[in-house]
Amino acid sequence: MPSNHFMSETSRVVTAEELERFPSDDRRYELVEGRVVRMSPVGYQHGRTVARVLFLFGQHLEGRNLGVVVTEVGFKLASNPDTVRAPDVAFIRQDRIPSSDPRGFLTGPPDLAVEMLSPDDRPAEIEAKVDEYFARGVALVLVIDAGLKTVTVFRSPVSPVTLRDGDDLLDLNDVVPGFSCQVHEIFE
């Protein structure tokens, strides 16, 4: 979850379609109720951990026809004003994958959203993002802190469970059938 900084040059309400046409640069952007949010580039630890999570999911999904795992894909979660979020990693069940490959953002929520914390993320921002994901239909949210080597599992916006590096088991079978791993595998 790279640090969020509101863009001062974009004070008007922006649509998802306009966001898709933003110039390509070294930044990511999200849209929250029509307001553009610029995301800072990620650091090494963040990128490495995201790659590891993608590897673990990809390895599990290979040949199983359960769904797809993606990174930094925009999901249009609301309209008028538009909200587009791009989790660090997301899983979409096979039965929810669009029949044709869409060129733009996907409409609707992923089944699983994974957010990687950045050093300057504020707890209130994280809580608001988790609440928003659940309000828009995401079934499961993981918040990974690579610095502390923890994974916080939200099956609802309340009563999260924090798993720690070591032998704690991350079991996502309820959303990603058959997937589990020990937390230390994420941080290897």
- Reading the block at residue 77, the tokens are 């979660």
**Cβ distance 142 to 107 under 8 Å?**
no
Q: Is residue 25, in this structure, part of any structural domain at all? A: no
What 8-state DSSP symbol labels residue 149? T
Q: Is residue 107, in this structure, part of any structural domain at all? A: yes
- Which residue would you say has higher pLDDT here, 28 or 91? 91
Q: Is residue 125, in this structure, part of any structural domain at all? A: yes
- Reading the block at residue 30, the tokens are 């999200």
141: CB partners within 8 A, 6+ apart: 112, 113, 114, 115, 130, 133, 134, 153, 154
User: In a 10 Å sphere around its CB, with 0-12 CB exposed, 13-18 middle and 19+ buried, how is residue 173 labelled?
Assistant: exposed
Quick check: 186 pLDDT over 50? yes
Q: Is residue 132, in this structure, part of any structural domain at all? A: yes
Helix then strand count (H, E) for the chain reads: 4, 14
> Which of the four pLDDT bands, split at 50, 70 and 90, describes residue 5?
very low
Segments forming the whole domain that contains residue 163: 43-186
**Cβ distance 155 to 176 under 8 Å?**
no
Q: Is residue 67, in this structure, part of any structural domain at all? A: yes
Q: pTM to 2 decimals?
A: 0.90
Residue 2 has a pLDDT of 52
Q: What is the pLDDT of residues 43-85, one digit of tens each?
A: 899 999 999 999 999 999 999 999 999 999 999 999 999 999 9
Q: Is residue 152, in this structure, part of any structural domain at all? A: yes
CATH, residue 70? 3.90.1570.10
Q: Is residue 13, in this structure, part of any structural domain at all? A: no
Nearest to 111 by CA among 131, 129, 143, 87: 87
Q: What is the pLDDT of residues 90-107, one digit of tens each?
A: 999 999 998 887 788 999
Mean pLDDT for 161-171 is 95
Residue 11 has a pLDDT of 67
Q: Is residue 5, in this structure, part of any structural domain at all? A: no
Q: What is the pLDDT of residues 115-150, one digit of tens each?
A: 999 877 888 888 999 999 999 999 999 999 999 999
> Which of the four pLDDT bands, split at 50, 70 and 90, describes residue 174?
very high
**83 beta partners:** 78
- The number of distinct structural domains making up the chain is 1
Other CB atoms closer than 10 Å to residue 138's CB: what's the count? Answer: 23
